[in-house]
Structure 1
Amino acid sequence: MEPLEVTMRRILAPLLAALSAALLLVLAAPGAHADDPVPTPPPTPPTTTTPAPVEPYARYEPQTTCSPTAKPGAVAAQRWAVATYGGRAGGISRACGGSLSEHKEGRAFDWTLDARKVADRARAQRYLTALFATGPTGERAELARRMGVMYVIWNDRMYAAYRQFAPTAYVSSSCRGKPLTRCSATLRHRDHVHVSLSKAGGAGRTSWYVGRVARAR
C-alpha cells in the first residue's frame, strides 16, 4: 500500500493542471485584461422638440408713450436682416414729439437699401418673401408673425399684418396732394426699408426671439 501523501499527489496533480489550463484560457480571452478600456455606451438619440405655436397676425399698436431706447426685439430683427441679406443698419430710436412713430418707442427699425439699385431691390424682395412665406407648419407669413412684424414700408408699398401683409400703395402724409416725383426718397421709403414691430415683438417676447434677444443686447 502506497503512502497517503503519494496518493494525494496522484489525485490532485490532474486537478491542478486542469485549473491552470482554465486560468490561462480566461486570461487570454479578448477583453479580459484589467487595463482594457470600458466600452463607451452608444450615443443617446437626439430628442425632437415641437416648435412653439405661431403667433396671430400682429394687431395695430401705435405709439402711446415716449420710450425711444432701442428695444431688444428691434435690435435683433435689424441685425438679422443685415446679416442675412446685406445693406446697412439704419436708425431705431427717434426723439419724441410731433407725429406718432414706433421709432419713439424703440420698436421700429430702418434698414438702409436703395430702390434705384437692382441688387438692393433683390435684397428687399428676398426679405419680404421670407417674411410672408408659408412655414413648415402650414401657417401663412410664419416668420413675420413669429417676429411680431406689425407692418413694413418699402418703395411706395406698405405690407400690414392687419391686412394679412397684402401690399397696398403707401403715400406719406407729407406727400399727399403732390406728385410722388416731388416727394423725397426718404418719405417714399425708397432709400430704406421701415419695419415696425408689435409691443411683444419689440420686447423680444414672441417665438422668433428665443435664444436671440440676449445676443442682441
Structure 2
Amino acid sequence: MVPVKGSAGAKSRLGDLPETFPARGALAEAFALDTVAALLAAEKVQQVLVVTADPAAAAPLAALGARIVPEPPHTSVPEVTAPDASSRDPLNAAIARGIRVAQQEYPLCNVAVLTGDLPALTVPDIETALTAASAHDLAMIADEEGTGTTTLLAQAGIAMVPRFGRGSRAAHEAAGHVPLDLPATASIRRDVDTVDNLAEVLRRGVGAHTSALIARSQQ
C-alpha cells in the first residue's frame, strides 16, 4: 500500500531545485509512479493499493494497475487505535485507511506500506525485503539515514498503527516493528526528501518515469 499526496503541496523540502529541474509536484508524481511500477513487477506482491485524495494523481497510477483507495478529506485515525498525535495526522490517517482496506479485503495477505518517494526502488530489493519480513509478525525498514521509515510491514491478521513522520523509526520500533537488516544503500531505504537525496538517487539510477521527466526538463 502506497500513500500519495498528489501534486498540491508535495515534496515541500525540494523547494530549492535548480531551474532546469521539473516542478516539485511533477517529481512527486513520477516518484510515486516508479515506486508503484516496481511493486507491481514484484512476484511476491499480489495487489498494490494507492491511497490518495487527488484524482489527477490517481489516474496514471490506476493505469499502471494499482487499485485506488479514495482518501476522505480531513481524515483522522480514531483515538482508540491511535493514541499518539503522530498517528492522527493526515498522512498517517490516510495510511491507516489503506491498511484497513487491505486487511479487510485481503485477510490472508501480509501487508506492506511503502512511502511513495522511492524512485530508485528495484524488484530484487522488494523481494529481499518481503522475504526478510516473513520471519516477523511486525517489521519495518528504516530510511538510509536510519531515523525515518520507508516501509512498514505486518503479517496477515496482525494489527499495525502507522507512525510516519519525524523520528518514525523509534516510534515504530517501540510499537514492536523489527528493523530489517538491509544494506544502507538498498533502494528501498533511499526515499527522496531533499535536493541532496534527489541528486543521490539520480546518480544511482531511477525508474523510467522519473528519468524520463528529468530528461524532458533538461532538453
TM-score normalised over the length of structure 1: 0.31
Which structure has the bigger radius of gyration? 1
TM-score normalised over the length of structure 2: 0.31
Report which of the two has the higher share of helix.
2
